[in-house]
Structure 1
Amino acid sequence: MVRADRIREKDRCMKVSTLSLLFTVVLLACLVSEGHGWFSSVRRKVRQGARFAKGAARGARDMYRGYSDMRKANWKNSDKYFHARANHDAARHGPGGRWAARVISNARENWQSGVSGRGHEDTRADQEANRWGRNGGDPNRYRPKNLPDQYMKVSTLSLLLTVVILACLVSEGHGWFSRSASRGVSRGVRRGAKFVKGAALGARDMYRGYKDMRDANWKNSDKYFHARANHDAARHGPGGRWAAKVISDARENWQSGVSGRGHEDTRADQEANRWGRNGGDPNKYRPAGLPSRY
Structure 2
Amino acid sequence: MAQNKYSHLSAAGTDQCSPPLGISTMKLFTGLILCSLVLGVHSQWMSFLGEAYEGAKDMWRAYKDMKDANYKGADKYFHARGNYDAAQRGPGGAWAAKVISDARENIQRFTDPLFKGTTSGQGQEDSRADQAANEWGRSGKDPNHFRPAGLPDKY
**Secondary structure of the corresponding residue to residue 184 of structure 1:** helix
Higher relative contact order, structure no. (Cα contacts within 8 Å, ≥ 6 residues apart): 2
Partner of 2:140: 279
The partner residue of 1:189 within 38, 42, 45 is 42
* Count of matched residue positions in the alignment of Structure 1 and Structure 2: 114
What are the equivalent positions in structure 2 for 1:236-247 lying under 5 Å apart? 236-247=89-100
CA distance in 2, matches of 1:293, 1:236: 22
Extract structure 1 runs of 4+ deviating beyond 6 A.
none
* TM-score (ref. length: structure 1): 0.38
What are the equivalent positions in structure 2 for 1:1-294 lying under 5 Å apart? 184-260=37-113, 261=118, 262-294=123-155
- The C-alpha deviation readout for 1:209-249, integer Å capped at 9, x for no partner, is 00000000000000000000000000110000000000000
Query: How far off is 1:259 after superposition?
Result: 1.9
Q: Which amino acid aligns with 1:230?
A: N
Unpaired segments of 5 or more residues in structure 1?
1-180
* TM-score (ref. length: structure 2): 0.71
CA distance in 2, matches of 1:186, 1:256: 42
Q: Percent identity, aligned pairs only?
A: 59
Query: How far off is 1:182 after superposition?
Result: 9.2
Larger radius of gyration: 2
Query: How far off is 1:203 after superposition?
Result: 0.1
CA distance in 2, matches of 1:182, 1:254: 43
Query: How far off is 1:257 after superposition?
Result: 1.7
CA distance in 2, matches of 1:268, 1:183: 45
Structure in which a larger fraction of residues adopt helix: 1
Q: Which amino acid aligns with 1:214?
A: K
CA distance in 2, matches of 1:197, 1:184: 20
- The C-alpha deviation readout for 1:167-208, integer Å capped at 9, x for no partner, is xxxxxxxxxxxxxx7971110100000000000000000000
CA distance in 2, matches of 1:273, 1:210: 13
